[in-house]
Amino acid sequence: MRAWILDTGPLVAYLNPSEKQHARVVARIEAFTGQLLTTTAVITEAMHLVATNRRGPSHLAEFVSKSGLQVFDFTEAVALAEAAHRMEKYANVPMERVIVTVQKYGNMSAATVPVGLVDALHSGRVKPGSLLLMPGFGGGLTYGALLVRWGSRVTPLGTSSLEFPPLTHTALELVNDVRTRQDPNGRSLAGLKAPTFAEARLAAARV
């Protein structure tokens, strides 16, 4: 059976007629005869984004119920490993040829590409002359890929003695903190600018 793993972008576009890609997404989803899949994190984010319309959340709930959408909760390490194996199943690519980081860092969207590349280099899986396929996507509707022939150097030019400060909050806690300071009817620029990132803390520590 064919499967379509839905990200937040297509869900919001399907439910919101004012979205630029609404008609295209509706046509694609309604013509699809396989199994629709997604995660609880996607449903949570989509619910937040469609809440600007009073009927948005109920429309999302109706879609989940009527479409037979399977919703998976990939939050624990074991579940994230299962997500990685599902990706292998639907991509039909052996796992020994895939760089997987989701069970270590969670879903980072397109940031998975550079993080995965660094992990592969550190673990020695990238050899001189390796052919690397690096696809990336964001929001479910934006995607691209690079096919790269790696050069001869697979070791870093240098090392740094700097260390990141210890984490005091989980990524979910940081995201939820930003959300509490958002305008309930949309995204708040002030809220998005408010968090202090690791780079800023390191710079302040050196002063």
Per-residue pLDDT, 98? 81
| pLDDT tens per residue, range 32-81 | 888 888 887 788 777 777 776 767 778 888 888 888 888 876 555 555 56
3-72 topology per CATH = Rossmann fold (3.40.50)
Any idea how long the chain is? 207
Distance between CA atoms of residues 83 and 144, nearest Å: 21
Domain residue extents for the chain: 3-72, 108-149, 171-206
Measured CA to CA, the distance from residue 59 to residue 67 in angstroms comes to 12
CB distance 47 to 60 below 8 Å: yes
Lowest mean pLDDT among 21-30, 125-134, 170-179, 190-199: 190-199
> How far is Cα 48 from Cα 162, in angstroms, rounded to an integer?
37
Tell whether pTM > 0.75.
no
